[in-house]
Structure 1
Amino acid sequence: MNKPPKIPKTKLILGSIILIVGFMSPLLIPLVIGSDLPVSYKNILSGLLAFGIPEIFMIIAIAVMGKPGFEFIKEKVFRYVKRFAPADEVSLTRYRIGLIMFSLPIIIGIMLPYATHFFPLSKDIPVWWYLISDMIFVSSFFVLGGDFWDKLSGLFKYHVKVVSKDKTA
């Protein structure tokens, strides 16, 4: 049997810190935007904090930890996150509730710009209303279950055919 290579603890800790710092770098964007830098520098620095620095830090972390260390960290994180993944199959009631949660924010989002023409009060909707609507939409994916993810991804694949398990269809 092959024994997994021994990963030095200091390299693992240092690489993990570099990885965390890199992925948290987008949190610095509000500080950059609020600074006195010229607008062009703010744009470049904000873009790098979002789409360059995290990737560079990830490469540095892999170099520090080595591939076995990175694989170890990745496996631990995926095992932890997998506990929060939605169930594959859900009950009919849960599926219907999830569809309402999925559809309602989309319908409201589509109709709201037109509603402001007929109902002037709809122009003054507070931001928290939009945040709640977005949270309901994201939560709907967990309520709908893993099979819904498969259906949704099928929308973006040309050669996918619908196969019904339902005997009445």
Structure 2
Amino acid sequence: MSTQRVIVVMGVASTGKTTVGGLLAEALGVPYAEGDAFHPAANVAKMSAGTPLEDADRWPWLDSIGEWIRNSARLRGGVVAASSLKRVYRDRLRAPAPGAVFVHLTGERPLIERRMSARKGHFMPASLLDSQFATLEPLQADELGVTVDVSGSPAEVTEKALAALRLSLVL
């Protein structure tokens, strides 16, 4: 049974994980999954109330995404958007599929804050942005992945991500 590449689009809220993840999946011709859809209702309620999640809240969510990654790696690959802010979270996602690749979307805080304030209909309030940046542990040198700046249109960011993945010989 062959293993196909699965890409995890990571970063703090409002970096464009959902949009860029969908565009990457489309460009690569693979399935896409939205990490927020894997959250249990209790997590969504907690974040909607402005309370940051604790690690105990995240483990079942990460395990569900990890299962999707494992299954996708066995089939035809895929792209999933999941914040994956800490190394330990990425390690948990990689456990069932060690070849998973991370695309870390980054940007200056004022840009991310503007995007978050303009976003409508999402459960994550702008008040949690500080906790997102405080929790963030950027990709480390020994992690398979690339970092991409989110300035520019979603199409431009997607092109930057594809170019970075190809340059790193991941694709």
TM-score range (shorter-chain normalised) is: under 0.3
**Structure in which a larger fraction of residues adopt strand:** 2
Q: Which has the larger radius of gyration?
A: 1
**Structure in which a larger fraction of residues adopt helix:** 1
Q: TM-score, normalised by structure 1?
A: 0.23
With a CA cutoff of 8 Å and minimum separation of 6, indicate the structure with the bigger relative contact order: 2
